[in-house]
Amino acid sequence: MGKKAVLRLADGSAFFGEGFGASTRRVGELVFNTSMQGYQEALTDPSYGGQVLTMSYPLIGNYGINNLDFESSRIWAEGFVVREASESFFHREGVRNLDSFLSKYGVPGICGVDTRALVKRIRKHGVLPCSLEVFEGAEKGGDASFDYSSVNFVEKASSSGVEKSVPENAEKTVVLLDLGVKRSIVKELNKRGIGVISVPWNSSAKDILAFKPDGILVSNGPGDPAILTNVHSAIRGLSKLPMFGICLGHQCIAHAFGGSTSKLKFGHRGSNHPVYDSEKKRVFITTQNHGFAVDRVPEEFVVTQVELNDKTVEGMMHSSKPIFSVQYHPEASPGPHDARWLFDEFKRLL
């Protein structure tokens, strides 16, 4: 690697370290993820758009990058912060190291910094605007200010046209409203014989109904759900169909039916979040990646699941219509496959 790097926070603090990845400067919102693995999936998750991602686990990159675990076609995080970035890797599927992966997609990374101190700072003060610069020679510098909620990241993360993924054994077809979907969600639907027609984020209810779908899935994605008013409108126009919302989709469903969301202090990002299901009387271990949460549940909905760490809303369903949603990622595999049954439930409703 051999390059210099500096992470500057909006509160005036700075963290110096060794640079890797692309020699460039990016600004974003500094967040942290507590997972011990899954860095490739996290970096390519569109939900990290506009964010500089810090991994709390100290060794990242030791199993390399493979061609199987992409959640999208590129890296979405604005920058990557780790304690130690492994230059070598050992895995049968590995094809490149972390340094070359970030370089390929023009993303800066910094290592050799105290990520424990960073995480403690974020937990105390909340997510912070920041800049991350990797440089050779002198630092160019610049403003670290950044207003995350003023940017429509979904517009950037969503597909620009209609995409179809329909297996030969498809029994049902759903339209997926793409707010920045992870590939694993489409795979889980296809596994269950469900064909998927993905449409752009700004599709109207009329556009979607023209496909005559059996149901609707509102995907995950980046950014503030409150600003996506056209998505809220489309959801209202589709409310006669079975509907499943995931992460940002869950938040947009809340807005569509009169609820609201608020920004969490430092969000939920990791693979060991306990969620209690009041109907099943069970705790599920979940993977999460979000900075907003439903704070006012729509009148027609009932809360089905809560986060045991802070009691935020993790699941809800309509009291009379086949509409339900969850805040976490049921397609992810944090070790157990606790939440995969939600896709089975969605199929049952179609």
The set of long-range contacts for 102-107, using a CB threshold of 8 Å and a minimum separation of 24, is: 102/20, 102/21, 102/22, 102/43, 102/75, 103/20, 103/21, 103/22, 105/22, 105/74, 105/75, 106/22, 106/24, 107/21, 107/22, 107/24, 107/26, 107/43, 107/75, 107/77, 107/78, 107/79, 107/80
**Catalytic residue (one of 41, 71, 307, 331):** 331
Cα–Cα distance measured from residue 321 to residue 216, given in angstroms and rounded to the nearest whole number: 13
User: Can you tell me the distance from the alpha carbon of 337 to that of 322, in angstroms, rounded to the nearest whole number?
Assistant: 24
Respond yes or no: is residue 136 known to be catalytic: no
| Structure tokens that stand for 316 in this block | 């809800």
In angstroms, the CA 8 to CA 259 distance is 36
What is the distance between the alpha carbons of residues 91 and 323, in angstroms, rounded to a whole number? 41
Catalytic, 290? Answer no
CA-based end-to-end distance of the chain: 52
Active-site pick, 250, 268, 273, 329: 329
Q: How far apart are CA 178 and CA 159, in angstroms?
A: 7
Q: Is 329 a catalytic residue?
A: yes
**Which of the following is catalytic: 111, 130, 247, 252?**
247
The residues annotated with a catalytic role in the active site are 247, 329, 331
